[in-house]
Structure 1
Amino acid sequence: MGWDLNLSMTTLMASSWVSMPRVLITLLFISATLSGCATFSKDGGFGAVQKTTKDLISKEVQWVKSVDDQDSVQSYTEELLKNPLTVNDAVQIALFNNKGLQAAFYDLGISEADMVQAGKLPNPRFTMLHAKNNDDYKIEQSFTFNIFSLLTMPKALQIEKRLFEQTQRQTAMEVLRLANETRKAYFKAVAADQSTHYMQQVRTAAEASAELARNMVKAGNWRKLDQAREQGFYADAALGVARAERNKITAYEELTRLMGLWGKQTQFTFPERLPDLPITVDESNNIEQTAMDQRLDLQSLRLQTEALANQLGLTKATRFINVLEVGPARVLEGKRSDPYKKGFEITFEIPIFDWGTARVARAEAIYMQAVNLLAETAVNARSEVRQSYKLYRSNYDIAKHYRDEIVPIRKRISAENQLRYNGMLISAFELLVNAQLQINSVNSYIEALRDFWLSQSDLEMALIGKPLFSSSTGSPMRDNQMSMGH
């Protein structure tokens, strides 16, 4: 809290009235010069976001601002949806269509407006007092300009420029986060679709087997116990299809929301199966350093910390005086025809009650908070990238083991048991148990392959920003396995 002290000097020489406007004109010229340093850019800062997106994930991103932009995006989206959807197509569609991302782009406009505003001085103020007592008048007129804001404007402008750069990185981070979420949703959806098709094939085979069992019982060639087992296998297979279709709906709609599709656009198709495992895995050379160099969350926090450091300096500089206005003034006291007394008026705040200690302490606390958050983020980033790589490598080994060992073994066992059953060397129940094990192994392989691609997405994200690690998402397929009696 402070007092405003107005000093009206009305007994100065006439030259004072002339010199003050010159000073004011000079100040206004300096103001205009500094204001020219902060103007609106042609792209609103979006070019930096486009470049970051292109450099890190090789994707295009568009800020839809007009009907023509919307028509262009829609035509491109419809062209991509004509063929079975690939993961790259899904990500590109999301970056063009997701309305939440489009809303995030306007943070750039807000931040740039703040930056431009910081480069503009407050408008001059004109005050006038008019009083009359009979034929006596008292008229005071003053035109003041906040010269203190002129002194602090360069520092304030520098702070807002830092914050604008931070907003650009945060916006780019939103782009990359959406791309990563879409990529993961795509793999979940394709895995759910693949599992559904497989379970439908199992149900068809189980239905044929159950029908054959009923006919054989009628002919007296089979026991009712064996028929019940076949019928139970078919019932479990039908339940497995229902569960797979439920999980497919959830995964499909999650991907649809991320891509921002609606109406006829939602009728897209997938490839028949997940992509195969790569021949080799990426090596872990210097991944921690790569993360330190690339991660946008670290870059954003560094810029925020630098802006807060500048703001702390500004707070300390203005702790005693934050209002200082000066300008020409003239006063008339007496008859209306009497001449004005000319001078100038100065207004400033007297630090009697508020010495700015609390404001400085608050600024220092905010700055130290940001420093510690930056340090924590750096520590966490190293851990996250190590965790991501280890999970990526582990999931690769698991999927490879299913592909090269477990699934082929189950298939060989199934083929041998089918021959033994045809030769009446094993019972139908033994053949049924083997079929259940084969179904479980195939479903587990689909799950393991999906988890590998999810972990690869997490690793890619950990190198450029904070990942949202995929939890164990195998429960839907495990439901199918449990229903099949495993």
Structure 2
Amino acid sequence: MSTLPSRALMALVLMSALAGCASLSRQPRDADIAQLLSERGGPAVDWSAVAGTDEEAESLDRWLAQPMTLDAATRVAMLRSPRLREHYARLGLARAEVLEAVEIANPRLSFQRMSIDGGGHNRTTGLSMPLLDLLLLPAKARLAATDYDRARYDVAGAVLDTVADVEAAWYAYVTARQVAGMREAVSEAAAASAELAGRFHAAGNISALQLAQEQAAASQAYIEALQARADAGRHRLALHTLLGLRGEETNWEASESLPLPVPVEDDPEQLASLARDGNLGVLAARAEADVLADALGLTRTLRWFGGSEIGYEREREADGARLQGPEISLELPIFNQGQAKLARAEARLMEALARLQQAELAADNGVRMGAQAVAALREVVDIHRLALVPQRESIVARQQERQNFMLIGVFELIQAKVAEYDAYQAYLEAVRDYWLARVELARLVGRRLPSDADIEARTPSLEEILGPPEAPAMDHSAHAGMDHSMHEQDKPAETEEMDHSMHGGMDHSMHQAAPPAGPAQTDPTEHKGMDHSGHDMPASPEPTDAPEDAGDDTQADEHHHHHHGATP
């Protein structure tokens, strides 16, 4: 057994190793991912500090007391979302793996006492540690730090994904709520039309076929209104789940409108560049490849050492003599030369490089496809806003004039108004689809889009679309740029502005008693709570006596193509 050159050397090695492990904190810090989120326009909050505290409750009450805008929904999610808390816990698991990676095996203490014939004992005391762990400690610490960066990218990316899910759910719910209101308005108009048709039929002015058509249209509109309301309820519950709300916390008021498209869309090439440099999924894949490449190099260099150990022994003979010194045990790589470890490390690196290539390809091509989708949906929104909706409004104005001169009946006027509501619904759904596409594009870029800073104008709210009670004309000032110049084309000289006087006399008293007349009766209370007094149907002329053959079912049906409730 050799002599120990210096006891201080062994002590220094042990203390350095232990100090290296002790320098790492056991728990992750919010700052570990806060910078990643801040650089990408994501939210920042100290989850570990506010969870379950009075500060959290006060913040939550403040955000729930105001209309649930997109910003408010995101902030509530940061406070209460179980998914975000889960991601924070995953960061803690990654931190634990770092600690485990830089730890060395505990030293082994051995003691031996051997009796000698004739009396006396030999005592041997030893302390040993894995040699490979000591040699690899600096490299393992470096690998663990890189792997923790990969975990930070993964967790920060998951947080941004959750925020994107909240945004998508908010857009879907606000639109579904407005669509439900539009369907209610269409249902009421169709029901009033069916009630008026009943009065005309009783007077013998229309046929039984025409009456059945109006009643069927009213029933269909009522069904669509109920389906739209149920759909809005499902979207609200989905948003509650993402936000982490329950009980009385769910009694919040929704925002009334969606934002309009941004003035100028982002350059696809710029977005692709941002994705290459900032997409957290791509960064995580690169970090993983770096870790495995470094690990492969270490495996090639140190595979010969196997289970080698270094230690120190002290032996006391029966006669009182003492022997002491270091020891080292080396595993001879005769049968196992680490071929399996090397092959495994090479395969893992190849797999990581393939994932990195796939992530880069998906980000680059996905961003370009997403930008094209956003551009196409933006054009759809513009067509609705600048063409279809104003055209439908113009048709209502022209039909109002014709009905005033008794050139058409009230049924045609109601049909035109329903088509206008359908155009508005299609417009709101187009705006929703545009923003959902932008959410997915931002998810691929890995950050908020630069043009989000220019969001200003908003779509009209449901109340603005349906119009205020007793208003002589519908106010479209909230359309932020909608071109209504086409309304002046072919307008009679004596008509200075759109005549919406027809909205003032609709009789909806029948809605307080029963849904549309028809074979299937439904619960009339489903219409409770929505004020449509601003869109009352024009006061209908009293049915006149008709010739006895006026009610013939075979007569020409000028309402044969009457359509209610379809989305253009």
**TM class, shorter-chain normalised?**
0.7 to 0.9
Work out whether 1:275 is the aligned partner of 2:259: yes
Q: What's the offset of the Cα at 1:425? A: 3.0
> What's 2:32 paired with?
48
Greater shift, 252-261 or 218-227, is seen at 218-227
- Of residues 233, 240, 256, the one that matches 2:240 is 256
Matched, 1:229 2:213: yes
Structure-2 residue corresponding to 1:438? 420
Alignment correspondent of 2:345 = 363
Match of 1:411 in 2: 393
Give the root-mean-square deviation of aligned CA atoms.
2.8
CA deviation after TM superposition for structure 1 residue 485, in Å: 5.8
Matched, 1:101 2:84: yes
**Which runs of 5 or more residues in structure 1 are unaligned?**
1-8, 468-481
Could you tell me how far apart the structure 2 residues matched to 1:140 and 1:210 are?
Answer: 105
Deviates further, 423-432 or 56-65 = 423-432
Is 1:76 the counterpart of 2:79? The answer is no
Contact 2:112 2:123 survives alignment (8 Å) = yes
Aligned with residue 10 of structure 2, among 7, 20, 24: 24
Alpha-carbon deviations, 1:254-313, whole Å to 9, x = none? 111111111111111212332233444334352211211211111111111111111111
Aligned to 1:474: none
- 2:446 matched residue in structure 1: 464
Contact 1:417 1:431 in 2 (8 A): yes
- Within a 5 Å distance, the mapping from 1:103-118 to structure 2 comes to 103-118=86-101
For 1:39 and 1:64, locate their aligned partners in 2 and report how far apart those are by CA, in whole Å: 18
**Could you report, residue by residue, the CA deviation over 1:13-35 in whole angstroms, capped at 9, with x for unpaired residues?**
xxx3x646444223223324544
Q: CA deviation at 1:317?
A: 2.0
Structure-2 residue corresponding to 1:381: 363
Note if 1:91 corresponds to 2:77: no
Residue 39 (str. 1) matches residue 24 (str. 2): yes
The equivalent position to 1:123 in structure 2, one of 106, 120, 136, is 106
The TM-score normalised by the length of structure 1 is: 0.85
Residues 70 and 99 of structure 1: CA distance in aligned 2, closer, same or farther (over 3 Å): farther
- 2: CA distance between counterparts of 1:196 and 1:315? 63
Structure 1 residue aligned with 2:513? none
One-letter amino acid matched to 1:159 = L
Alpha-carbon separation, structure 1, partners of 2:356 and 2:447: 13
Distance 1:424 1:306 in 2: 80
Q: Secondary structure at the match of 1:171?
A: helix
Q: Does 1:484 align with 2:470?
A: no
Cα distance change of structure 1 residues 454 and 217 upon mapping to structure 2, 3 Å threshold: same
Report sequence identity in percent. 25
Change in Cα spacing, 1:418 to 1:236, as seen in structure 2 (3 Å) is farther
Distance 1:47 1:314 in 2: 31
Q: Does 1:216 align with 2:200?
A: yes
Shift of 1:352: 2.1
Is 1:239 the counterpart of 2:223? The answer is yes
User: Which stretch of the first structure deviates more once superposed, 282-291 or 188-197?
Assistant: 282-291
Deviations 1:188-225 (A, max 9, x none): 00000000011111112222222222233333344333
The equivalent of 1:311 in structure 2 is 295
Contact 1:125/1:144 (CA < 8 Å) preserved in 2? yes
Kept in 2, the 8 Å contact 1:395–1:452? The answer is: yes
Alpha-carbon displacement from aligned partner over 1:151-199 (angstroms, at most 9, x marks no partner): 1100000000001111111111111111111111100000000000111
Number of aligned residues? 453
Output the amino acid matched with 1:281. Answer: E
Determine which of 188, 191, 200 is the counterpart of 2:184.
Answer: 200
2:435 aligns with 453
Task: Please report how far the alpha carbon of residue 363 of structure 1 lies from its aligned counterpart in structure 2 after TM superposition.
Answer: 0.2
Structure with greater helix share of residues: 1
Given the superposition, is the C-alpha separation of residues 227 and 49 from structure 1 closer, same or farther in structure 2, using an over 3 Å criterion?
same
Q: Secondary structure in 1 aligned to 2:304?
A: coil
Instruction: Tell me the distance in 2 between the aligned counterparts of 1:290 and 1:342.
Output: 63
Q: Secondary structure at the match of 1:327?
A: strand
* Residue 161 (structure 1) aligned to one of 145, 151, 162: 145
User: Post-superposition shift, 1:325?
Assistant: 2.0
Unmatched segments (≥5 aa) in structure 2: 450-562
- CA distance in 2 between partners of 1:404 and 1:388 (Å): 24
Range that drifts further, 159-168 or 101-110 = 101-110
Q: 1:410 to 1:46 in 2, by over 3 A?
A: same
Distance 1:99 1:53 in 2: 18
Distance 2:239 2:72 in 1: 12
Instruction: Confirm or deny that 1:190 pairs with 2:174.
Output: yes
Change in 2 beyond 3 A, CA 1:108/1:485: closer
Distance 1:194 1:433, change over 3 A: same
Spell out, residue by residue over 1:306-330, the C-alpha distance to the aligned partner (whole angstroms, 9 max, x if none): 1111111121122111333232324
TM-score, normalised via structure 2 length: 0.73
Q: Which amino acid letter does the alignment assign opposite residue 360 of structure 1?
A: L
Tell me the SS of whatever aligns to 2:85.
Answer: helix
Partner secondary structure for residue 47 of structure 2: coil
Residues 465, 485 of structure 1: CA spacing in aligned structure 2 closer, same or farther, 3 A cutoff? Answer: closer
Runs of 4+ in 1 over 6 A off after TM superposition: none
Q: Is the 8 A contact 2:129 2:311 kept in 1?
A: yes
- 1:359 offset after TM fit, Å? 0.4
CA distance in 2, matches of 1:158, 1:56: 27
Q: Which moved more, 1:191-200 or 1:269-278?
A: 269-278
Q: Deviations over 1:105-146 (max 9, x none)?
A: 122222223323433433221112345587565644322133
Per the alignment, do residues 271 and 97 of structure 1 end up closer, same or farther by CA in structure 2, a change over 3 Å counting? same
Q: 1:160 to 1:204 in 2, by over 3 A?
A: same
**Alpha-carbon distance in structure 2 between the residues aligned to 1:345 and 1:485:** 88
* Cα distance, 1:58–1:174 mapped onto 2, change above 3 Å: closer
| Alpha-carbon shift at residue 337 of structure 1 (Å) | 6.1
User: How many angstroms apart in 2 are the aligned matches of 1:184 and 1:379?
Assistant: 25
